[in-house]
Structure 1
Amino acid sequence: MLKNQKLLEQLTLKEKALLMAGQGEWQTRAIKGKLKSIFLSDGPFGLRKQSGAGDHLGLNGSEPATCFPSSATLANSWDPAVGRAVGRALGREARRLEVDQVLGPALNIKRNPRGGRSFEYFSEDPYLAGKMAAGMIQGLQENGTIATPKHLAVNSQETRRMASNSVVDQRALHEIYLTNFEIAVKEGKPKSIMSSYNEINGSYANESKWLLTDTLRKDWGFDGYVVTDWGGDNDHVSGIKAGSNLAMPGLGVNAAEEVVQAVEKGELSEEVLNQRVDELLTVILEAQAKPAAGNFSWEEQHAVARDAAKKSLVLLKNKDQILPLAKGTKVALVGDFAKNPRYQGAGSSLINSRDLESLLATAKDYPIDLVGYAQGCPRQGEAKPELLKEAMSLADKCDVYVVNVGLDESAESEGLDRPNLSIPPCQADLLEALAKTGKPIVLVLSGGAAIELPWEGKVNAIVHEYLGGEAGASAVWEVLTGKYNPSGRLAESYPLTETDIPFDNEFPAEKHNAYYKESIFVGYRYYETAGVKVKYPFGYGLSYTTFAYSNLEIDDQGASLDVTNTGQVAGKETVQLYIGKEDSPLLRPKRELKGWAQVDLEPGETKRIKIPFDEYSFRYFDQSLETWQEEKGHYQIMLGRNVADVVLTGEYDLKRGIVPKESSSSYGKYREGKLLLVTDQDFADLYGAKLPKNLPAGRRELEWNDPLREMANAKSWLGRAVAKWLANKIQQSLDESKPDLNFLFNYNMPFRAMTKMMGDMISRPMAEDILFIVNGHFWRGTGRLIRDYFQNNRKVKNDKDVQE
């Protein structure tokens, strides 16, 4: 007996088919007299509810909302309670705007920091990402709002994001790219989850029964419903069979007709359809039964945003303890960001912030003497001598420069990946010029991901705010003036140079198959194993005080130690637990994060803490047995300030588990951390199968799942012209620091997605006609398109829809 058997018996086959796709851009399907719809909204770190005409790309305006720090920022707090507080505040705002479901948090692994949506993701480490996501999910769902962790799974690049196959070995798949979601699902218990656009080893994520049913529901105990990313429904019926419940946006009656016909032909069991509808109905009916919204205060929301930003700030450098700034310090404030802040990412997460702060506007609220402000350089483009001169002239008036630079909007956006790890050259020129004045420079960095810092020696202090949300400016001043002792720790590694990133020259994959050749050696797992020095290691962050560790004890439950504040001010330390196994025959990183604990200490105070072992501490995925195992034997238990600064080390003997077989000798390059020498054949040996091949470059017949960017290789001059026009439009928007997601989305959208993003406006035959034209059959294709256009119009007009 299904949970909603009575309601299911009232629904016709067509009504059940209609429920498998949305009603327009942001709502689930309503069935007249039987079921009301619920409203969904973008919202990884702020609500983007469009009250007028809705669109997933953010072209139309949205309601004013609180902009909280991005997920990449929150992860630096290493505190799930911070994520929970932000989630709780998001839930309050959702209730106020009558939003039932929030599309977030996003928790994909930062495989390469040049990934365009790195600012939306928590970490390069799955354990940290999962724990932080679970906290936000718990907060979001406290008052009945539905959380939607995304994008499941192995979604690592924006280039070709809807037409890319992630080729990944089983250990990396489970240990790196699924463990984050497993923790988020088991501990956060979300009521929905979003599948990703990409294929995983040849199967679309939204059509993978192994992923959506066997793993998500059976192994992890997920009891909610699966929604596609917008336009991410490839084969509608296959998705339903696999375990997908809702295709978004609304697909119209054509999609429902597909489902009805599949049932009538015996290609889809009505029992399976009933199961999918029941899973969806359970969540919808629960959401509609939640109590009315309570009291709401914009001031409280802003305070939550400020507190989260403050606890997530990372102090990277503090030469000669120039920070905190003494009371009355004469400060010259420089940088376009200081007046027009870079506080959020671009794309579908773009928030219409209600109460945006800037460093310039909030400086008056703190005990410094602001002697002047200068832009210094444009937000992007060439340096301007007059702007440099204006900034340098403030040297005569100030004791210190506070300079705000970083990544501008054109560098970080949904729909494109970063070309490099550099900040705009004009900003680097600004730092060089100010250094010549001899005045100390306190640098405030803005941006959502790792950058190169070749100019680091020119500055005296670096405070990294990441993307701090609307209240990030006052949070920065609280740290700069010592009102708050910085406690943030990096959730990702900062390489010395981009060339240190394994297989960076192959990222992003420009062709269909993306080879995840680094396997489990993502981020610090590679740098530590290979002995590659980094600028700032994973877990790194300074404080205005110092801490000492002592008296390590290890038992079957975990590791205990004393932590002492050896400095002069109160502070918070994040003690990190890493585990390694030097004598393992398996491929293993030198150390992996398996837990942490935060402790607040007054000067001279000592507290004893314990970091417990859990189900993730010693497990690895056994590819031959296709299951999780634990390896028996001796482990190194390491407690440190960051992954490269291990303070205490002990041994632990795990008496349970198995003794695995010796790894193949062909894995030697992986074992030694020599990833730069790994060939496609080496990866194929690890992958355990022949690698799928990419098509050669050049003009060819385009296929149904090719993205529109491939029209550059089309036989038709018209297709090539359209591809060139799209590319030019994208570059124009980037030059203006205003990435146009409409063009970016279309450039990476496959032909099949035309039918998914435009409801009944374009039928499958019409989309196939467009492809036929692009492949060089202009006149015949145009004739077919006109015929199919009128046929589709008649069918839609004659169909009796069943909505409120």
Structure 2
Amino acid sequence: MAPSAPTTQADRDREIAVEAALGKLDLDAKARLLAGQDMWTLPELPEIGLKSLVMSDGPIGVRGVRWTADDPSIALPSPTALAATWDPALARRAGRVLAQEARRKGVHVLLAPTVNLHRSPRGGRHFEAYSEDPYLTGEIGTGYVRGVQDGGVGTTVKHFVANDAETDRFTVDNKVAPRPLRELYLAPFEAIVKNAHPWGIMTAYNKVNGTTMTEHRYLVNEVLRGEWGFDGYNVSDWMAARSTKGAIEGGLDVAMPGPRTVYGPALAAAVRAGEVEESTVDEAVRNVLRLAARVGILDGAEPVVGELPETVDGQALAREIARRAFVLVRNEARDGEPVLPLKADRTVALIGTAARDARVLGGGSATVFPERVVAPLDGLTAALPEGALSYCVGADPNSELTAADGGFTLRAVCRAADGSELGTVNAPSGHIQWFGADLPQGVPAAAVHSVELIGTFTPRVSGEHTFGTRGYGRFRLSLDGRELSDTTYTVGPDSDPFDTFFSLPSEAARVELEADRTIEVSLYHEVAHLENSPIEGISFTLAHREPQRDADELIAEAVEAARAADTAVVVVATTELVESEGFDRRDLALPGRQDDLVRAVAAANPNTVVVVNSGSPVELPWRDDVAAVLLSWFPGQEGGAALADVLLGAAEPGGRLPTTWGTLDAAPVTEVTPSDGELPYTEGLFIGYRAWEKSGATPSYPFGHGLGYTDWEYESLEVTPTAATVRVRNTGTRHGREVVQLYVAPAADTAGRPARWLAGFTGVEAAPGESVEVRIELPPRAFEIWDEPAGSWTHVGGTYELQASRSITDTRLTAALTI
């Protein structure tokens, strides 16, 4: 399909430059441009003045082309946190700081945002997506894309489409009927294409209704490009492209990564053999050249953004987003007043491993390496008077080995087969993941026979420390010159290429060590170069686990600390083995003995506040036994400072739930495991709050729920077919922010629709006693359904009830509307 027509003179000038450049390329150059030259880049073509296009993972930071902690990045809160702000303008500001980071790192395209839906709470990667609701997802995603592209950096909205779980993601065939596909899963993509004009889309690994997405001619060429007028480039998810002819004819422009892909020489050969029309290749090349013109790397074309936005303070914005995202779901009165915010003269017992070792982001390709992390212990120590804060572990959920980090000082030495040194770089953690530019300067991956991690380790606790490794090849571990293990791990023919990134480490040795006594560490690794792997690189891990103390003893210590303090703050968390790319969740339980810890602390101190550090829902069986529950998501690098702001009342917790929280037993949609390669979406339109209402089950906390530090009265609601006007008053004693939510409910329904659905929202701020009037637009799509027999959108007239609400279950005002 032809791209949408240029709308400005600058657009037309870029199209002229694109056509001129295309006309100078021969078939081999065109085919080469559509294939990654390495993990993150496309090749430069000097003959047309085209520089190499650089892509980088997001979505909460910009890692750049080097996957290493030695190249730090700003780490914003998780996408679930950003969606919890219910603030597209804040999402736009987040996008601008990420564009700023991208430019600093020489990146032209950010591989984000993820706008797949929270179909089942078991989705292991939901922290990287926004919401269970397509409208909220589209609004936040639109703000994000606009912000990134305000800074002259492209986006790739992903993963197109129905990539809503991780189990068998490379092969699963998701069976989705046309109506839920249109009304739910395609809807955020459509809204973002319409309202933000993204410069890129990433197609997913999975199939939809029998066709893999990298070859889905109907959804890409007819819907995305044809109906919606998308004129950007379409890039595969990494290693998703499987067929030269199928991909190019299915609308896939770029196959990543390189250099071994289904494009490049294979695509040129397919054209010469008459299997593929060169005009089809030309259309893909146009899309890539248009992207290059937009980001300013094609000679003769002015970039879209000439004057950059003002510089953003990334640390300050990370802190602001975190506190705006925290969702206070419970805040009970103690001694006549809510327990939060904490009183200035109170002593606090801070409890939990995650309070000291903060989990600020999710695992997998979303990982970045911030220059600093403010843990809750750091934030509260800085904010409270000396002597007011105590800390203890309470319960450690980390039962598995993780990449060597705290207490380790390491460097990586590359050697050739003859033992000669090729190069050395710092290794800020025990995880080595090198692709191309990640290696020491001038060192080709193919020349590396071995890599040795060398350095020191200073334990912070005495006892039995466990060491291990992850990866393929030979590993030889030595401590203080004494060899402890020598093991080789081989690669099976059907091995998942991402195993070295996401699999569990293997235990290598256990050693008694003394706290604060530094030892020398060496892990020698003979690299396993995998034949025919689409990824050229080196990946392995030195893993470590601290001594495991008796859980009952740790909980007893926490109880004593809680009993001695005015308030107990318990931070509970998931781990990278619970929420990460590459797998789905078995259950929604907090790992380890954390539930036992909360119950014991709450029994000892009625003023117990629980901070839940997870990217997506977990079960909270003790939620009615504690004074307050605050959801912090993965709060980014400034999370501890933001937590202190909110707990002590310097700022209000501003978040509302973007997804329903409940138990797995009660959840109406849970299945993520295919049967015979297929996963049928049998629930149709009913996911998230739509499904909870249909089932009649009561969630722990409903969609849209969230408390602040003030109270609100909804005074009036007036509606027209295109908008609603709501007046609210701050009836409390503090300045506050409210999220006014507008739901549409059909009075009578023959169209098989949910009981109600989100149609609009807006945030308002007001001082004590102040009233504010807001207008919320009603999109036409709120009253339309996808007519499957007709293959088009159909307006459904009739009488509707419009509900001005604080959550899906807390309706404050209603008004009838007939359309």
Normalised TM-score (structure 2): 0.76
The structure 2 residue matched to 1:240, chosen from 208, 229, 248, is 248
Correspondences of 1:714-729 after superposition (within 5 Å): none
Correspondences of 1:128-277 after superposition (within 5 Å): 128-252=136-260, 255-277=263-285
Q: Cα offset for 1:9?
A: 2.0
Is residue 447 of structure 1 aligned with residue 614 of structure 2? yes
**Equivalent pair of 1:23/1:30 in contact (CA under 8 Å):** no
* Distance of 2:667 and 2:275 partners within structure 1: 46
The structure 2 residue matched to 1:77, chosen from 82, 85, 91, is 85
**Equivalent pair of 1:91/1:140 in contact (CA under 8 Å):** yes
* Distance of 2:579 and 2:249 partners within structure 1: 36
Correspondences of 1:14-163 after superposition (within 5 Å): 14-34=28-48, 35-51=50-66, 61=69, 63-163=71-171
**Equivalent pair of 1:50/1:61 in contact (CA under 8 Å):** no
1:399 maps to amino acid? D
Give 2:326's aligned residue. Answer: 313
Q: Cα offset for 1:30?
A: 2.1
Report the 3-state secondary structure (helix = DSSP H, G, I; strand = E; otherwise coil) of the residue aligned with 1:494: coil
Q: Cα offset for 1:386?
A: 2.5
* Distance of 1:98 and 1:354 partners within structure 2: 18
Report the 3-state secondary structure (helix = DSSP H, G, I; strand = E; otherwise coil) of the residue aligned with 1:98: coil
Report the 3-state secondary structure (helix = DSSP H, G, I; strand = E; otherwise coil) of the residue aligned with 1:466: coil
**How many pairs does the alignment contain?**
644
Report the 3-state secondary structure (helix = DSSP H, G, I; strand = E; otherwise coil) of the residue aligned with 1:44: coil
The structure 2 residue matched to 1:360, chosen from 344, 353, 377, is 377
Give 1:782's aligned residue. Answer: none
The structure 2 residue matched to 1:343, chosen from 356, 360, 370, is 360
Give 1:587's aligned residue. Answer: 752
Give 1:498's aligned residue. Answer: 664
Ranges in structure 1 where 5+ consecutive residues have no aligned partner: 52-57, 655-804
**Equivalent pair of 1:405/1:443 in contact (CA under 8 Å):** yes
Give 1:749's aligned residue. Answer: none
**Equivalent pair of 2:669/2:691 in contact (CA under 8 Å):** no
Q: Cα offset for 1:371?
A: 3.2
Give 1:553's aligned residue. Answer: 718
Correspondences of 1:556-571 after superposition (within 5 Å): 556-571=721-736
Is residue 465 of structure 1 aligned with residue 632 of structure 2? yes
* Distance of 1:400 and 1:94 partners within structure 2: 42
* Distance of 1:83 and 1:295 partners within structure 2: 15
**Equivalent pair of 1:92/1:293 in contact (CA under 8 Å):** no
Higher RCO structure, 1 or 2 (CA under 8 Å, sep 6+): 2
Name the structure with the higher strand share.
Answer: 2
Give 1:652's aligned residue. Answer: 817
Q: 1:359 to 1:423 in 2, by over 3 A?
A: same
2:377 maps to amino acid? L
The structure 1 residue matched to 2:709, chosen from 523, 538, 544, is 544
* Distance of 1:205 and 1:426 partners within structure 2: 41
Residues 429-471 of structure 1, C-alpha deviation per residue, up to 9 Å, x if partnerless? 1112212323421111100111111111231101111010001
Give 1:639's aligned residue. Answer: 804
Give 1:480's aligned residue. Answer: 647
Correspondences of 1:681-692 after superposition (within 5 Å): none
Give 1:524's aligned residue. Answer: 689
Q: 1:389 to 1:293 in 2, by over 3 A?
A: farther
1:419 maps to amino acid? R
Normalised TM-score (structure 1): 0.78
Give 1:678's aligned residue. Answer: none
Is residue 327 of structure 1 aligned with residue 493 of structure 2? no
Q: 1:465 to 1:166 in 2, by over 3 A?
A: same
Correspondences of 1:702-741 after superposition (within 5 Å): none
Is residue 393 of structure 1 aligned with residue 560 of structure 2? yes
Q: 1:425 to 1:92 in 2, by over 3 A?
A: same
Q: Cα offset for 1:608?
A: 1.5
* Distance of 1:64 and 1:442 partners within structure 2: 33
**Equivalent pair of 2:351/2:394 in contact (CA under 8 Å):** yes
2:171 maps to amino acid? A
Q: Cα offset for 1:22?
A: 0.9
Q: Cα offset for 1:530?
A: 2.9
Report the 3-state secondary structure (helix = DSSP H, G, I; strand = E; otherwise coil) of the residue aligned with 1:596: strand
Q: Cα offset for 1:267?
A: 2.4
Report the 3-state secondary structure (helix = DSSP H, G, I; strand = E; otherwise coil) of the residue aligned with 1:372: strand
* Distance of 1:364 and 1:254 partners within structure 2: 54
Give 1:372's aligned residue. Answer: 390
* Distance of 1:508 and 1:147 partners within structure 2: 30
**Equivalent pair of 1:64/1:354 in contact (CA under 8 Å):** yes
Q: Cα offset for 1:389?
A: 2.4
Larger mean CA deviation between 244-253 and 70-79 belongs to 244-253
**Equivalent pair of 1:18/1:29 in contact (CA under 8 Å):** yes
Report the 3-state secondary structure (helix = DSSP H, G, I; strand = E; otherwise coil) of the residue aligned with 2:747: coil
* Distance of 2:575 and 2:597 partners within structure 1: 15
Give 2:597's aligned residue. Answer: 430
Report the 3-state secondary structure (helix = DSSP H, G, I; strand = E; otherwise coil) of the residue aligned with 2:593: helix
Q: Cα offset for 1:396?
A: 4.6
Q: Cα offset for 1:215?
A: 1.2
RMSD over aligned CA atoms reads 1.9
2:710 maps to amino acid? T
Q: Cα offset for 1:199?
A: 0.5
Name the structure with the higher helix share.
Answer: 1
Q: Cα offset for 1:571?
A: 0.7
Q: 1:423 to 1:254 in 2, by over 3 A?
A: closer
Give 1:777's aligned residue. Answer: none
Report the 3-state secondary structure (helix = DSSP H, G, I; strand = E; otherwise coil) of the residue aligned with 1:561: strand
The structure 2 residue matched to 1:9, chosen from 10, 23, 26, is 23
1:486 maps to amino acid? P
Residues 587-627 of structure 1, C-alpha deviation per residue, up to 9 Å, x if partnerless? 11000001012110111111121211113221110001011
* Distance of 1:114 and 1:253 partners within structure 2: 32
Report the 3-state secondary structure (helix = DSSP H, G, I; strand = E; otherwise coil) of the residue aligned with 2:716: strand
* Distance of 1:492 and 1:27 partners within structure 2: 35
Report the 3-state secondary structure (helix = DSSP H, G, I; strand = E; otherwise coil) of the residue aligned with 1:625: coil
Give 1:737's aligned residue. Answer: none
